[in-house]
A and B are shown apart, each in its own frame.
Chain A
Amino acid sequence: MMKGNKLVLAIPKGRIFREATPLLKAVGIEPEAEFDDPESRKLSFTTNKYGLNIIRVRSFDVATFVALGGAQLGFVGSDVLMEFDYQEIYAPLDLEIGKCRLIVAQTKETLEIDSPSRSSSMTVATKYPEVTKRYFAERGVQAECIKLNGAMELAPALNLSRRIVDLVDTGKTLAVNGLKEIEQIADVSSRLIVNRAALKTRPKLIGGWIKSFTEVVNGQKVK
């Protein structure tokens, strides 16, 4: 149960984390020193703002914490919001960090043999089964998803699936593993998300943070 004026901001580990710290600084949030220490086992950190704590969790879990009200604010990739359409989450601001793309890829060899537009079903290895099913269904293809949590690029070579749906940044990992991008599903960037009930019950506080982050993101664009 949330007590008093406590506010929790959830930030994903990994890719987005590095780009998130300058943003925090720009809005005046200074986490305790251990926050920047990747070796630290701590999961929750105090900040210079009274009552504001930051938690560091997995990207998909940011959305879960915010949806269930464990955290009131969060940074999360739009890929996660596409996978889980949580009703309890608002995503008012594009933070313009963590930019990458969600794509479909397959091996260069199979590319000539079959094109995705001619199959009625296919196996796809992915971390995003919902997005994948929806995307292929719109094209009249039944996607049989194999849920993997990482190293999707291995799946075609080891005969788990013909295709993969994954995030790419530069496309290097794809190339190294003999894969070629065939379609793009979406552009991805990180969003500021807020819990619905928190925004309704503490409109000034949460609204204030949305405003601060918006000003910083817009300001950076001008520069």
Chain B
Amino acid sequence: MTDTERNTLLPAGLSDILPEDAAFEAETVDRLISCFSMHGYQRVKPPLLEFEESLLSGVGVAVEPQTFRLMDPVSQRMMGMRADITPQISRIAQSRLVDAPRPLRLSYAGDVLRVRGSQLRPERQLTQVGAELIGSAAVEADAEIIVMAIRAIQSTGIEKLTVDLTMPRLVQLVLSRYGLSENNNQKLRQALDRKDAKAVSGLAGKAGHELRILLSATGVAHDGLKILKLAKWADDRAKEIERISCVVDLLTKNVPEIQLTIDPVEHRGFEYHTGIGFTIFSQDPAVEFAGGGRYRVKGVETEDGERATGVTLYIDSIMTALKRPEPNKRVYIPIGSPFSCIARLHDEGWITVSALQPVDDVDMAAQNQKCYYVYDGNELRHVKGLD
């Protein structure tokens, strides 16, 4: 290992965020979370580490393989570093806030750590901003979360978004109707994940017909719903389809500018979801900005437990689509300037950078400090040599 390597190499998937970018990210996070508070979502702040048993139970089961563990030297118990914040919020809702009136609206912002990055996001430390709406089964709750997430992303200046709606339960219902189970049918699950219609037909037996209809409905929401509604479904599946249709109607009414697609077989990324799930994509570049959906606070294993829905915004991908504004509010304060002027400039919204010793060329020194203006004793003037 060379000296440079020893001092500067970071573990895979971890990175330093430097000046300007770090400030811009913090501003963006503030803007997103303040959009959530405007909608009545109250911020909570769970800890980075928890005991394994609580962190990885209920909703947390799904993120277990992604969780870093360490031993608590004090209690001698295993702790897990959070890989997702939603399970922590659902723990809070069931414990400390169990008596708080419902529906309960909570929001959060914080970093999570994952054992492995994904192909698209090699980062192992990710910033999440999210909101959870706990204690309502209404379709209006699904729509509220999705519309609010869209509004939040739009507040950063990103316009073109697509929402993909999924129904992770639908495939389970079809399979169990025909006596198949997802868990011991990995090949079928993989064929569905890949949307390989031919392989699905070959593997699904009697369920093939219904699964093929679900596959063919993937695409633009209104076209897909037409296909789904043409087919005859038993009660449980009809209910799910009716539900997604209601959400599509609500979204069409409230965010008509957003392109809507549906995907009745999508499963990956919805491991703890039990009802309508969704992914928000930006159109150009085509990347995922947010995801979420319905779940039970006690996890997928039980049918009881409060109904909840929520969204997580992926700050790292949102940041890649945003252009950082030029830092043009910086003013260079030469040595000897009165301290009162600094306070006045701060009140007016300027950022001040004070000289610590006299310099020969004030303009050059200002440029070095990325200042566009110099305070010359009375007022601000443009730095010479800059346009």
Which of A's residues lie within 8 Å of B, judged by CB?
A: 1-4, 67-69, 81, 85-94, 191, 195, 197-198, 200-204, 207
Q: In the complex, given contacts A91-B194, A197-B286, A207-B220, what are 4 additional A-B residue pairs having Cβ atoms less than 8 angstroms apart?
A: A81-B194, A94-B198, A200-B162, A200-B279
Shortest CB-to-CB span from B153 to chain A, Å, is 14
Please state if A88 and B119 are interface contacts (CB–CB under 8 Å): yes
Q: Does B197 contact A (CB under 8 A)?
A: yes
Please state if B195 and A207 are interface contacts (CB–CB under 8 Å): no
Shortest CB-to-CB span from A41 to chain B, Å, is 29
Please state if B268 and A4 are interface contacts (CB–CB under 8 Å): no
Shortest CB-to-CB span from B266 to chain A, Å, is 9
In this complex, the member of B118, B162, B195, B263 whose beta carbon has the largest number of chain A beta carbons within 10 angstroms is B195
Please state if A87 and B196 are interface contacts (CB–CB under 8 Å): no
Within 8 A of A (CB), among B218-238: 219-220
What are 8 inter-chain pairs, A to B, with CB distance below 8 A? Answer: A1-B284, A68-B119, A90-B195, A200-B281, A201-B162, A201-B259, A204-B219, A207-B219
Contacts of A89 in B (CB 8 A): 194
Contacts of B118 in A (CB 8 A): 87
Closest-by-CB residue of A relative to B282 is A201
Please state if A68 and B281 are interface contacts (CB–CB under 8 Å): no
Please state if A3 and B286 are interface contacts (CB–CB under 8 Å): no
Q: With A203-B219, A207-B219 as given contacts, are A1 and B285 in contact (CB-CB < 8 Å)?
A: yes
Q: With A and B bound together, what is the CA distance between A198 and B282 in angstroms? A: 10
Q: With A4-B284, A81-B194, A201-B281 as given contacts, are A88 and B120 in contact (CB-CB < 8 Å)?
A: yes
Please state if A69 and B286 are interface contacts (CB–CB under 8 Å): yes
Closest-by-CB residue of B relative to A208 is B219
Q: With A88-B119, A90-B195, A94-B196 as given contacts, are A200 and B284 in contact (CB-CB < 8 Å)?
A: no
Among candidates A3, A88, A91, A204, residue contacting B284 with C-beta atoms closer than 8 Å: A3
Please state if B195 and A92 are interface contacts (CB–CB under 8 Å): yes
Please state if A204 and B286 are interface contacts (CB–CB under 8 Å): no
Q: With A200-B281, A203-B261 as given contacts, are A87 and B119 in contact (CB-CB < 8 Å)?
A: yes
Please state if A2 and B194 are interface contacts (CB–CB under 8 Å): no
Q: Does B288 contact A (CB under 8 A)?
A: yes
Q: Does B37 contact A (CB under 8 A)?
A: no
Q: With A and B bound together, what is the CA distance between A69 and B287 in angstroms? A: 9
Please state if B195 and A85 are interface contacts (CB–CB under 8 Å): no
Contacts of A1 in B (CB 8 A): 284-285
Shortest CB-to-CB span from B263 to chain A, Å, is 8
Contacts of A191 in B (CB 8 A): 196
Closest-by-CB residue of A relative to B283 is A201
Please state if B119 and A86 are interface contacts (CB–CB under 8 Å): yes
Q: With A and B bound together, what is the CA distance between A89 and B120 in angstroms? A: 12
Among candidates B195, B197, B219, B284, residue contacting A2 with C-beta atoms closer than 8 Å: B284
Shortest CB-to-CB span from B30 to chain A, Å, is 26
Q: Does B190 contact A (CB under 8 A)?
A: yes
Contacts of A81 in B (CB 8 A): 194
Q: Does B164 contact A (CB under 8 A)?
A: yes
Please state if B219 and A201 are interface contacts (CB–CB under 8 Å): no
Shortest CB-to-CB span from B159 to chain A, Å, is 13
Please state if B220 and A2 are interface contacts (CB–CB under 8 Å): no
Q: With A and B bound together, what is the CA distance between A195 and B195 in angstroms? A: 12
Closest-by-CB residue of A relative to B160 is A201
Q: With A and B bound together, what is the CA distance between A65 and B19 in angstroms? A: 33
Shortest CB-to-CB span from A76 to chain B, Å, is 12
Closest-by-CB residue of B relative to A6 is B284
Q: With A91-B196, A92-B195, A94-B196 as given contacts, are A197 and B287 in contact (CB-CB < 8 Å)?
A: yes
Q: With A and B bound together, what is the CA distance between A180 and B104 in angstroms? A: 67
Interface mask (B281-319 → A, CB under 8 Å = 1, otherwise 0) = 111111110000000000000000000000000000000
Closest-by-CB residue of B relative to A81 is B194
Please state if B288 and A197 are interface contacts (CB–CB under 8 Å): yes
Q: With A and B bound together, what is the CA distance between A204 and B219 in angstroms? A: 8
Contacts of A201 in B (CB 8 A): 162, 259, 281-284, 286
Please state if A198 and B196 are interface contacts (CB–CB under 8 Å): no
Contacts of B263 in A (CB 8 A): 200
In this complex, the member of A3, A90, A93 whose beta carbon has the largest number of chain B beta carbons within 10 angstroms is A90
Closest-by-CB residue of A relative to B161 is A201
Contacts of B219 in A (CB 8 A): 203-204, 207
Q: With A87-B118, A203-B219 as given contacts, are A198 and B286 in contact (CB-CB < 8 Å)?
A: yes
Shortest CB-to-CB span from A202 to chain B, Å, is 8
Q: With A and B bound together, what is the CA distance between A202 and B283 in angstroms? A: 8
Contacts of A202 in B (CB 8 A): 283, 286
